[in-house]
Structure 1
Amino acid sequence: VAPEASMAKPLLKIQRYFRRKPVRFFSLILLYLTAGSLVFLHAGFVGDNGPGARGGRDSLIASEMGSWASSDTRGLGLMSRVFKEKRRSGRRFGPPWMKKTRQEAKYIGCYIDDTQKRALRGVSFFDYKKMTVFRCQDNCAERGYMFAGLEFGAECYCGHKIQAPNASDSECNMECKGEKSNVCGGPNRLSIYRLELSQESARRYGSAIFKGCFHRPDNVTLALPFSAVIQNMSVDKCVDMCTEREKSLAVLAGDRCYCGFPTPLFSLHELEDEGMCLNRCQGEEFESCGNDKYFVVYQTQVQDNRCMDRHFLPTRAKQLVALASFPGAGNTWARHLIELATGFYTGSYYFDGSLYNKGFKGERDHWRSGRTMCIKTHESGRKEIEAFDSSILMIRNPYKALMAEFNRKYGGHIGFASQAHWRGKEWPEFVKNYAPWWASHTLDWLHYGRNVHVVHFEDLKRDLFTKLKGMVEFLGLKVSEDRLLCVEGQKDGNFKRSGLRKLEYDPYTPEMRSNINELIRTVDAALKKRNMSGVPEEYMPR
């Protein structure tokens, strides 16, 4: 009897448990949901592996899209390809040692690349720290290019066609700097992918930049060697044609489209009134297509590669040339311009890893190595200045330079300081310490420098061709006008702030302005004392 009684006790407890209505109700619901979930999961696994499951989904998609497909079969082809791509198993493109890449890009091989004649002649960018295959593909796809190529583990090139022979896959053997398990080309070797552009890429070649109205060059066939007559001419048609031809300029002259690059014969320096180009396009009534005498010019997204090759000096430099400036005065931008204009790397008194990763390869060299064209420095002591044989001294409006350096200090090279920094104690303290340095830096270089070539940041922006030409001549190199015109087309580089986050108020107090204005007058007088032009008018207090 005792064993039976002991077995009955648990049953009685369970019975009492379910007599409590709320508890019984929720317990049943829980059991029901658990059982349903198990059945659902089981059906899902069986359905995915079953022979008829995939065909059923395909037929459903086809039936849902049937009426639309009859009106646009090309769209159906694109959509069906997208669905197939999503279902595709882990297929790998490219060499066997490469990881699976994104499904919208197909690896097509390793190709030879020549710095004088690139295999892919669209835009390019470098990142010697974070480059990956995906990042390169995404950047090229966003700009509407058909091919993306990676080289030297850190360089990305885009283009609409490959203009070089292929090489053995084993020659593309350098790991990506930002993804060690993937391959990013090799020395003078490109790992090239074909991109399948998404529907979001509405225009195949992206937007072009309007350059203005210009007079017909004297020898148009020599200035713009490729041309064609286009029926129902529009800006898009001309831009697309010149982009396919890998030309950076699309020039409209009525029903004729010219393609080329800026040259001394067609430099784009003499802008005409836009009214001279008013001539409605045949294919687009709201656009002007120019005429036989006055051309409408657009800059395509094709990168002009005539100034992209850069090297270290072939022989050790006999003199050390400084590129001196107060921080925030445009030194990095000036380095970018000098490298493109001369074809040689610039060095630095310091080492900035972020600059090296962005393509300034001379950053790692010791500043006395003699392998670079000139040396960036912000130093202003007598000993440091006299270590150089000559110098290019960059000067910028202190109001702009101080704000630029404050942004760099608290936001990085192309970032911005936060509102908390501007409104906090950091900004007044910064101006107090840095404003006098702006003046003393210039005065020290004027006093101790042996051969000083002064360049004002604002003048360089206004007349880049002339001022940069003077800088190249000061460095003792022969000037290539074609190369300078190439620089004009890509003058900004990777170190320009967007300008979208400008302060909505004046950060300078009246006391700050009074002190800075006095410093401006001091520098202006020092320049004029040495028979140089004073500071630009916009510096002077009003």
Structure 2
Amino acid sequence: MAKAFFRLQKFLRRTQFLLFFLTAAYLMAGSLLLLQRSRLVIQQGSRGTSTNQALPVSDVMVGVGIGVDMRTMQNPRPSARLLVGMDVLPESALEQRHSPQWLMSRNSELRQLRRRWFHRFVEEQPAKMKGSKVMERVAESKGTYMGCFSDDSRERTLKGAVFYDLRKMTVSHCQEACAERAYAYAGLEYGAECYCGNRLPSTACKPEECNSECRGEKGSMCGGVNRLSVYRVEELRAAAKPRRNVIYRGCFRAPENLTDTFPASLIQPNLTVEMCSEFCSKKEFPLAVIRGVECYCGYPTRHFTLHEGAEGPRCLQRHDGSGAGAAAASTHCLVYQTPVQDTRCTDRKFLTTKSKVFVALSSFPGAGNTWARHLIEHATGYYTGSYYFDGTLYNKGFKGEKDHWRSRRTICVKTHESGKTDIEMFDSAILLIRNPYKSLMAEFNRKYAGHLGYATDRNWKSKEWPDFVNSYASWWASHVLDWLKYGKRLLVIHYEDLKQSLIPTLKEMVAFLNMTVTEDRLLCVENNRDGNFKRSGTKQKGFEPFTPEMKDLINSYILTVDEALRKRNFTGLPREYVPR
């Protein structure tokens, strides 16, 4: 017995010593690893952080070739990892990555942190290396490189058109976009922004100050922080005549004083549509107005709204560009849309102070939420947020897409959610409703072909389409019913009303958001009504996608929703919804 006890005691002593040794080795290894990581972080801090390190999750994954399921990015309840960018953080910050305080504060600081890191990167890179890289890439460009210029967001020189592509912007892409719209110059900024115009910026800068790499082309420089890399794009079309998309807007009664209404004018014998459009495009105006031999350039204004057309014998309908676009009577004029973008309402920003009222822009998927966001942003001048994080929308200029949805820095927040808990988080909501037949088809197209594409006939004829209708049709009804039941303060907007009477309906939405906008800004929105996410035309199918059983199901939901709206003293659904 004593011998066995002695052996046990000896074994425990050895085990105790072994545990002590392993613990000491573990602590030493951990200390060395911590010192090594600390040194690495310090080195990265001194060198600055590249723009790729500040990319959001979806961009980083795509950039390294990892497959990302976009349905995960659209998940109504994204994980904390999807709610934040994958920036390089110290070890102490990583420990608090999922804390509520970090989520609330981090997202509001992302933009500022990235800008500071970028500034540090700019200041400490060797100027000579940057300058040589800029000039090397310039030599490979198609257009003539005019130099690096300073850019003031309040007084832009290149303000004819604005394009964003935060993932695939290249020098050629910007030049082509500006050339197709008849602009002489293309300027790139921040690596992802493209500006067009016909006047060269006045303040030149050092070549090395345009050091922001193009997001879609490694090694090419696309401007910098408040710096424009400017190209002359006329040479791109030396062999072929530039395409000029001139759209006939109609015949309208001329204002009493044309010279006071329109900032620029031209009198030309044998005036043609092409002459007038070319003149107004160079002056950077979106409208070309012709009366006899007189050409006027300007914008839609409250004195000239383009809302009351006057076709008939008063106007000569010669608007094909082959001859004079004269009006039969001096009281009327012909109006054309030039390739120039109306930029009076394109500047947007985040709210300077947190909004006191948390407003939702709620809709069923496929009901036009993205289009409504485009209209609201351009009307108010403030970004809209989103409960989800759609990289495609962010890349096309919806910068509020990656801002945390509860930051209250946006004018309203997109959501497709329903249910008591999700609805009661908001103080008020704009409830956007669309014909369920159109909504279901739009969402099915988006699911299989993205925001701008169309599902194939094979998709429509597959078994997935009936399953989709059976599940999504009930969601369309329950979404509206839940918001009617739990919403605290609602403004119900029908997509069809917004489409047919844009300005009156948009005024109602802007007033609900407690904003005041000018009539001219609303007319600018109307002039840019389509945005970047309108499907081109309607793809006609050679068959009816909805079976009689589907129609019976959808019509029953329509009647239920219509009755619920009327019980809440809202306008019922438009008559075009039923019968189908």
**Could you tell me which of 197, 216, 239 is aligned with 1:159?**
197
Distance 2:265 2:397 in 1: 35
Within 5 A, what are the aligned runs for 1:325-344? 325-344=363-382
| Counterpart residue type for residue 224 of structure 1 | F
> Are residues 243 and 274 of structure 1, via their aligned partners in 2, closer, same or farther at CA, if it must alter by over 3 Å?
farther
> Residue 115 of structure 1 corresponds to which residue in structure 2?
153
Cα distance, 1:342 vs structure 2: 0.6
> Residue 401 of structure 1 corresponds to which residue in structure 2?
439
In the alignment, structure 1 residue 462 sits paired with structure 2 residue 468: no
| Counterpart residue type for residue 137 of structure 2 | K
**Could you tell me which of 244, 258, 279 is aligned with 1:220?**
258
| Counterpart residue type for residue 215 of structure 1 | R
| Counterpart residue type for residue 185 of structure 1 | G
> Residue 8 of structure 1 corresponds to which residue in structure 2?
none
Cα distance, 1:280 vs structure 2: 6.3
In the alignment, structure 1 residue 97 sits paired with structure 2 residue 136: no
Q: Secondary structure at the match of 2:236?
A: coil
**Could you tell me which of 414, 419, 422 is aligned with 2:460?**
422
Structure possessing the higher radius of gyration over alpha carbons: 1
Greater Cα offset, 181-190 or 455-464: 181-190
Distance 1:307 1:161 in 2: 20
Counterpart contact for 2:150–2:201, Cα < 8 Å: no
Q: Secondary structure at the match of 1:181?
A: strand
| Counterpart residue type for residue 351 of structure 1 | F
Counterpart contact for 1:233–1:282, Cα < 8 Å: no
Distance 1:403 1:319 in 2: 34
Distance 1:504 1:200 in 2: 41
Distance 1:212 1:137 in 2: 31
| Counterpart residue type for residue 198 of structure 1 | R
| Counterpart residue type for residue 136 of structure 1 | C
| Counterpart residue type for residue 503 of structure 2 | F
> Residue 255 of structure 1 corresponds to which residue in structure 2?
293
Q: Secondary structure at the match of 1:393?
A: strand
Distance 2:508 2:152 in 1: 30
Cα distance, 1:301 vs structure 2: 1.0
> Residue 528 of structure 1 corresponds to which residue in structure 2?
566
Distance 2:289 2:165 in 1: 33
Instruction: Return structure 1 stretches of 4+ with deviation > 4 angstroms.
Output: 279-291
Counterpart contact for 1:146–1:197, Cα < 8 Å: no
Greater Cα offset, 269-278 or 437-446: 269-278
**Could you tell me which of 222, 237, 245 is aligned with 1:198?**
237
What is the TM-score when the length of structure 2 is the normalising length?
0.74
Cα distance, 1:125 vs structure 2: 1.3
Provide Cα deviations, 1:263-310, integer angstroms capped at 9, x if missing partner. 111111111124321276999547545642101000111111110111
Counterpart contact for 1:233–1:283, Cα < 8 Å: no
| Counterpart residue type for residue 400 of structure 1 | K
Q: Secondary structure at the match of 1:305?
A: coil
Counterpart contact for 1:247–1:259, Cα < 8 Å: yes
Provide Cα deviations, 1:479-512, integer angstroms capped at 9, x if missing partner. 2211111111111111111135332211000000
Is there any run of 5+ residues in structure 2 with no aligned partner, and where? 1-129
Q: Secondary structure at the match of 2:132?
A: coil
> Are residues 290 and 300 of structure 1, via their aligned partners in 2, closer, same or farther at CA, if it must alter by over 3 Å?
farther
> Residue 406 of structure 2 corresponds to which residue in structure 1?
368
Distance 1:243 1:168 in 2: 31
> Are residues 488 and 290 of structure 1, via their aligned partners in 2, closer, same or farther at CA, if it must alter by over 3 Å?
farther
Distance 1:464 1:308 in 2: 17
Within 5 A, what are the aligned runs for 1:269-284? 269-278=307-316, 284=322
In the alignment, structure 1 residue 234 sits paired with structure 2 residue 266: no
Provide Cα deviations, 1:440-472, integer angstroms capped at 9, x if missing partner. 101111111011001111111111111111111
Distance 2:281 2:327 in 1: 17
Q: Secondary structure at the match of 1:96?
A: helix
The root-mean-square deviation of aligned C-alpha atoms, in Å, is 2.0
| Counterpart residue type for residue 258 of structure 2 | V
**Could you tell me which of 527, 533, 556 is aligned with 1:495?**
533
Distance 1:153 1:290 in 2: 50
Distance 1:144 1:221 in 2: 25
Distance 2:499 2:156 in 1: 29
Distance 1:173 1:377 in 2: 38
Provide Cα deviations, 1:306-356, integer angstroms capped at 9, x if missing partner. 101110001011111000000000001111111111110000111111111
> Are residues 425 and 258 of structure 1, via their aligned partners in 2, closer, same or farther at CA, if it must alter by over 3 Å?
same
Distance 1:164 1:461 in 2: 41
Distance 2:334 2:216 in 1: 42
Count of aligned positions: 448
Identity of aligned residues (%): 56
| Counterpart residue type for residue 522 of structure 1 | T
> Residue 480 of structure 2 corresponds to which residue in structure 1?
442
| Counterpart residue type for residue 167 of structure 2 | K
What is the TM-score when the length of structure 1 is the normalising length?
0.79
